[in-house]
Structure 1
Amino acid sequence: MPVIAVLAPDGVPGQQLTAPGLVFGTACREYRDVVYEVRLCAAPGLRATGAPAPLAISTPFGLDGLADADTVLVPASGSHRDEPPTGVLAALRAAADRGSRIAAVGTGTFTLAATGLLDGRRATTGRRYIEELARLHPRIDVDPLGTVVEDGPFLTAAGVFGGIDVCLRLLGRDHGPRVADGTSRELLAPLHLHADSVQRTIGREIAESTGLEPTLRWMETRLHLPLTLPDIATHAQTSTSSVTRRFRARTGLSPLQYLLRVRLQEAQRLLRETGTPVEAVAARTGFTSPAALRHHFRALTGTTPRAYRRTQLASGGTRRAPEPPHPA
C-alpha cells in the first residue's frame, strides 16, 4: 500500500494538514483499485495548527513515519524563515535518496529548498514569497506563476487550495487523469490538468462580486492581444495597484496570472475540441510563440499541447475542423 507521509511543522495551516486525507480518502472511497495510507507525521516542536483558529494537535508518527513513505508532503509552517527543526532536513534527504517523491506546499518550499534538493530545478511558492525564495536560494529556478511545478520527483505549489492541487497532481500520476478528474469533481475543486467551464464559471462569479465581471469578459475576448496590467486597470477604471488587490483578494491571482490561466484554459479547449494547429492555438491565445505556449502549458498541466490533444482524442474527446482566425 503506497504511503503518503504528511510532515506537520508547528503552525501548519489546518487546511494543508487535512487536504491530503480529503483528496486521497475521496479517491480510495470512489475507486476500488485506489489504496493509500495517509500518515500525519509530527516535525519536532509541533504544538498546534496556525492562526486564525489554532488547534492543539498530536500525531501517531514523528520523523520515523517518513522512513518507508512513497511520497512526503511538506506543508507550510508558521516560521519558514527559521532553521527547520532538527532532523527534518536529514529525513527529507533520506527520503529523496530512497526515491520517494517530495511535494511542498506554500512556504513548505523553503523547507525543501534548505535541503539543497531543489538546486538547479524549477520550483514555486506562495506569490508573496516568490522574491524571497529567489533571493535566499539563487540556485533554484523560481517560477513566479504560483501554479503546480513538477521537476523530477519534486513538486511545489502556491497552496491556494490548501495543497489539494498538489495532491490531485500526485493522484493523476499514480492512477491517471480519469481518477484525478473524477476525484476533483467529487471535491468540487477544478483540476488544473482538465480545467473546464466549472473553473471559468467560478471565476466569473468571483469577479462579479467585486465589479470585475465586465473586465473579465473583456479580457476573455482579447486573449490574442498583448494585454498589459495598465490595459486591464484602465478598463476596470481603477489603478494598477487597486485592480491587483481586487484580483488577488478574490481569486488568489494577480490580473496577469489570471489572464495566463484563462489563456491556457482556452488553449486546452482548442486542443480538445478543434483541429487547430498548435502554432495557431498559440497565436489565438496570446502566446508569443509555440515555444512559449509549450513552456506555460507544461508548467500548468505537466504535459505538452500535442500530448494533451492525443490524450483527449484517445479518451473519446471530439475534434472538429480548425476554427476561423480570431478577429484582430
Structure 2
Amino acid sequence: MHTVSLLALHGVVPADLATPCEVFERVQVPGQRQAYRVRVCGEADDVKAGPFDIRVRWGLSHLADADTIIVPGLANPTAPIAPAAIATLQQAAGRGTRIASICTGAFVLAAAGLLDGLRATTHWLAAAELARLYPKVRVDPNVLYVDNGRILTSAGAAAALDLCLHMVRRDCGAAVAADAARMSVMPLERDGGQAQFIVHEPPGAHGNLRPLLHWLEQHLHQRLTIESMARRCHVSARTLSRRFVEQTGTTPLQWLLSARVRRAQQLLETTQRPVEQIAGDAGFGSASALRVQFARVVGISPQTYRQRFGGRALPPESSFERPGPGLGPPVSQGAPRRREAT
C-alpha cells in the first residue's frame, strides 16, 4: 500500500491539510480495499492551526517510510520553519520520496532547497514573495499545479484537488482517478483550465515567439534545428536562444524535447497507434529514441504510460512502488544540449 504522509507544521491551513486526506483516503483500486495509507505527521503532538489546535498521531520520524510527502500551506508562509522539518524533507528527497506542496507549502519546499532550478507555483497572492525570497525558483503564478516528477507544487484552494487527482491518476491510471474525482465532485481535468496546459503542453511564450511555438507544434514530426528555427524568425541562432530563455525559461532544443514528449503522451493516452508510429509522429525518428527520452523525462516506458493513463486501471495484483530514478529532473535540466534535435 502506498503511504501518503502529510507534514503538519504550526500555522498549517486546515483546508489544505484536509483535502489530501479526503482524496487519498477514498481511492479504491480493484482487488484492494484501499489504495493509500494516509498519515498526518506533526512537528509537535499538538499543531496550531489557526482557530484550533490539531492533535496528530505521528511525528516527523514517521515521514521516513512515506512514499509521498505532502506539505500543506501555511497561514504565514514567511515564518521560520523548524530545522528538524527542513532536515526531514531534505533526507526524504535524498531517498527519492515524492514530495508535493499545496498552496504556500511551496515556501517550505523552497526553504529546504528542493525547488532550486525548478518551475513551481503557489497561491497567486504569494507568488511574488516566493520569487523574491527564493530567486533560484522559477515561479509561475498562472497555473494550477506543476509536476517536476518527484517534486510537485500546486496553487491554492481548489488547486489542491487538481494536484491530488493528478497524483492518483499518475499512480493508478485514469479510470481510478476518475472514480476519485467523482467522489470529490470534481472533473478529472478542468475543461478549458490551466491543469490541461500544465500536463499536456511545454512552456509557453509571453512575447514574440508565440507564432514560432505554434508552428513548431504543427511540425514536430519534422527534422528541426536551432538554425532552421532561427531562419524562420529571421534572427541568428544566438538571438533565438536568448529569446527562448527570456520568454519560456528554457532553451529551444529543451523546449522541443518537452513538446515531443508531451505529444507522445497525448498519442499514448488517446490512440492505439503502435509506439513506432508515435515515435515518428512526435519527431523522435525511431522507437528506441522515443523510449530513451520518454523514460528520461517521464520516468517510465511509453508502454507502461499507456497502460496507466490510457483509460485503464492497474491490474488488481499490481502494487504501488516508489517512482523510478527517471522521475527526477524536469525537462529543462535533463534534456541533452545538442545543436540538433533528434
TM-score, scaled to structure 2 = 0.59
1-structure distance, mates of 2:121, 2:264 = 25
Larger RCO: 1 or 2 (CA < 8 Å, sep 6+): 2
> Residue 180 in 1 paired to residue 138 in 2?
no
Secondary structure of the 1:57 match is strand
Is 1:9 the equivalent of 2:6?
Answer: no
- Residue aligning to 1:308: 266
Q: Within 1, Cα distance between the matches of 2:169 and 2:38? A: 17
> Which residue identity lines up with residue 3 of structure 2 in the other structure?
V
SS in 2 for 1:6: strand
Q: Which amino acid is the alignment partner of residue 35 of structure 1?
A: A
Q: Which runs of 5+ in 1 are unaligned?
A: 201-257, 269-286, 296-302, 317-328
Code of the residue aligned with 2:265 in structure 1: it is: A
Percent identical among aligned pairs is 35
Q: Identify the match of residue 116 of structure 2 among 93, 98, 119.
A: 119
Q: RMSD of the alignment, in Å?
A: 3.6
| TM-score, length basis structure 1 | 0.61
> What CA distance in whole angstroms lies between the structure 2 residues aligned with 1:69 and 1:88?
14
Q: Please say if residues 10 and 45 of structure 1, whose CA atoms lie closer than 8 Å, have aligned partners that are also in contact.
A: no
Q: How do residues 280-319 of structure 1 correspond to structure 2 at under 5 angstroms?
A: 288=211, 289-290=213-214, 304-314=262-272, 315=310
SS of residue matched to 2:175: helix
User: Following the alignment from structure 1 to structure 2, what is the Cα–Cα distance between the partners of residues 83 and 63?
Assistant: 17
Q: 1:264 to 1:76 in 2, by over 3 A?
A: closer
Q: How far did 1:305 drift?
A: 4.0
2:138 corresponds in structure 1 to 141
2:83 aligned partner = 86
Q: Could you report, residue by residue, the CA deviation over 1:70-93 in whole angstroms, capped at 9, with x for unpaired residues?
A: 110000112211210230100000
Match of 1:39 in 2: 39
1:107 corresponds in structure 2 to: 104
TM-aligned CA deviation for residue 2 of structure 1: 1.6
Greater CA deviation, 146-155 or 65-74? 146-155
Measure, in 1, the Cα distance between the counterparts of 2:84 and 2:5.
Answer: 15
State how far apart, in whole Å, the 2-side matches of 1:191 and 1:49 are.
29
Query: What amino acid is the match of 1:72?
Result: I
Distance 1:149 1:262, change over 3 A: closer
Distance 1:177 1:262, change over 3 A: closer
Q: For 1:142, give the aligned amino acid.
A: V
- Which residue is equivalent to 1:255? none
- State the match for 1:70 in structure 2: 67
Segments of 5+ residues of structure 2 without an aligned counterpart are 201-209, 221-247, 249-260, 273-309, 312-342
Change (3 A) 1:131 1:45: farther
Q: List per-residue Cα deviations over 1:185-213 (Å, max 9, x = no partner).
A: 22111223xx34xxx7xxxxxxxxxxxxx
Measured in 1, the distance between the counterparts of 2:101 and 2:71 equals 4
Amino acid at match of 2:266: Y
Secondary structure of the 1:149 match is strand
How many residues in Structure 1 have an aligned counterpart in Structure 2? 230
Distance 1:38-1:304 versus aligned 2 partners, 3 A rule: same
Equivalent pair of 1:181/1:191 in contact (CA under 8 Å): yes
Q: Distance in 1 between matches of 2:85 and 2:99?
A: 13
Q: Using the alignment, how far apart are the partners of 2:167 and 2:73 within structure 1? A: 18
Contact 2:40 2:58 in 1 (8 A): yes
Measure, in 2, the Cα distance between the counterparts of 1:64 and 1:146.
33
1:57 aligns with 2:54: yes
Contact 2:47 2:56 in 1 (8 A): no
Secondary structure in 1 matching 2:82: coil
Letter of the 1:87 counterpart:
A
CA distance in 1, matches of 2:159, 2:268: 31
